[in-house]
């Protein structure tokens, strides 16, 4: 098991050599993930692992992908998407243009879920979805709009529970075990690297989604990222978080009102 001192050395290397700042990520989570990679790659010592990270930029990129969380799915938590469909998107219909930011979008399943919602509510034509992540490799996969077929049955059921109005298979074509989603959905997406730790706000948004990312940050970094989102949410805009995340106990709580029982807050102040 990697020691605290060894983990600190690795994190310093990633910051100094490649600009990735994991200083305020949860140490317990990072320790588990580094240990898993160490065992998976069968490095004989910490010195070997550290040398590989410092000397091989391609491996370092793979290492960063391994210690960041890229677990996602389409229409995850269907009641959340049902609330978006019924309670959030209808309030945006009068806007001439709708900007949505998926922060920490990973491989893009949730971005495509949102595009489908926008299509079915008649808003996709005047919307733009900004999808960002720390890791350029997962962004490349998201940009392709190609996902494995294996979980599609589960996705279709989640889509139905989220109020889906069509046959889910209408949105993709199947090829050799993969599903390629309609290009007209992807045309409304802008994919870009963005580091929640060090990068600033880059636009004003009607809706920001950052689900199941903050749970991997310590309290100081959580407050920093929430402040970044607050600067980026327009008046009466929305902020959506993951099922185990909250604005409660943050300095921003008085400025937002929670929507129903879902992890969606509307900016009121």
pLDDT surpassing 70 at residue 224: yes
Mean pLDDT computed over 8-32: 88
Q: Map 135-160 to HEC letters.
A: CHHHHHHHHHCEEECCCHHHHHHHHH
Nearest alpha-carbon partner for 3 in 27, 39, 37: 27
pLDDT at residue 108 above 70? yes
Taking the CA atoms of 81, 82, 87 and 90 in sequence, report the sign of the dihedral they define. Answer: positive
- List C-alpha distances in Å: 201 to 128, 132, 179, 214, 231: 16, 12, 33, 17, 7
pLDDT of residue 70: 67
Q: Is the pLDDT assigned to residue 26 strictly greater than 90?
A: no
Amino acid 27: pLDDT: 85
β-strand pairing of 189-193 with 127-133: parallel
* DSSP tag of 167: -
pLDDT tens by residue, 62-101: 888 888 766 789 999 999 999 999 999 999 999 999 999 9
Q: What is the pLDDT of residues 137-157, one digit of tens each?
A: 889 999 999 999 999 999 999
Percent of the chain scored above 70 by pLDDT?
99
d(Cα 120, Cα 115) in Å, to the nearest integer?
Answer: 9
Which of these ranges, 68-77, 195-204, 207-216, 259-268, has the smallest mean pLDDT? Answer: 68-77
Count of alpha carbons within 13 angstroms of residue 62, beta-carbon side: 11
Cα angle, residue 81 at apex, residues 175 and 264 outer, rounded to 5°: 140
What is the pLDDT of the chain when averaged over all its residues? 93
Q: Are 159 and 127 in contact (CB under 8 A)?
A: no
Q: In 10 A of CB 173, how many CB atoms?
A: 11
Q: Output 137 or 111, whichever has higher pLDDT.
A: 111
pLDDT at 61: 84
Average pLDDT, integer, range 154-161: 97
Region 107-114 average pLDDT: 97
Q: What angle do CA 90, 96, 99 make, to 5 degrees?
A: 75
Please give the backbone phi and psi of residue 123, each rounded to the nearest 5 degrees, phi first: -115, -5
3-state secondary structure of 108: coil
pTM: 0.87
Residue 223 near residue 255 (C-beta atoms within 8 A) = no
User: In whole angstroms, what is the distance from residue 193 CA to residue 156 CA?
Assistant: 29
Confidence tier at 19 by pLDDT (50, 70, 90): confident
Q: How far is CA 3 from the centre of its chain?
A: 29
Within 8 A by CB and 6+ apart from 206, the residues are 92, 95, 98, 99, 100, 234, 237, 238
Give the mean model confidence (pLDDT) for residues 110-125. Answer: 98
Contact (Cβ atoms closer than 8 angstroms) between residue 129 and residue 137: no
């Amino acid at each position: 098991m990697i020691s605290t001192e060894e983990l600190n050395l690795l994190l310093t290397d990633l910051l100094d050599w490649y600009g990735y700042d994991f200083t305020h990520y949860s140490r317990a989570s990072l320790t588990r993930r580094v240990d898993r990679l160490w065992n998976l790659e069968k490095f004989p010592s910490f010195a070997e692992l550290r040398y590989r990270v410092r000397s091989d930029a391609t491996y370092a990129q793979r290492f960063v992908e391994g210690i960041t969380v890229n677990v996602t799915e389409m229409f995850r938590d269907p009641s959340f998407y049902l609330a978006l469909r019924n309670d959030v998107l209808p309030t945006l219909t009068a806007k001439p243009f709708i900007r949505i930011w998926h922060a920490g979008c990973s491989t893009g399943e949730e971005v495509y879920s949102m595009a489908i919602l926008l299509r079915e509510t008649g808003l996709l034509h005047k919307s733009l979805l900004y999808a960002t992540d720390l890791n350029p490799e997962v962004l490349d996969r998201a940009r392709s709009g190609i996902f494995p077929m294996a979980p599609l049955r589960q996705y279709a059921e989640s889509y139905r529970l989220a109020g889906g109005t069509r046959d889910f298979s209408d949105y993709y074509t199947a090829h050799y075990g993969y599903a390629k989603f309609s290009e007209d959905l992807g045309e409304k997406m802008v994919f870009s690297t963005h580091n929640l730790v060090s990068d600033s706000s880059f636009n004003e948004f009607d809706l920001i989604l950052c689900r199941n990312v903050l749970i991997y940050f310590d309290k100081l970094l959580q407050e920093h990222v929430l402040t970044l989102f607050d600067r980026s949410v327009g008046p009466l805009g929305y902020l959506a978080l993951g099922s185990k995340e909250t604005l409660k106990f943050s300095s921003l709580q008085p400025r937002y009102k929670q929507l129903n029982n879902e992890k969606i807050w509307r900016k009121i102040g």
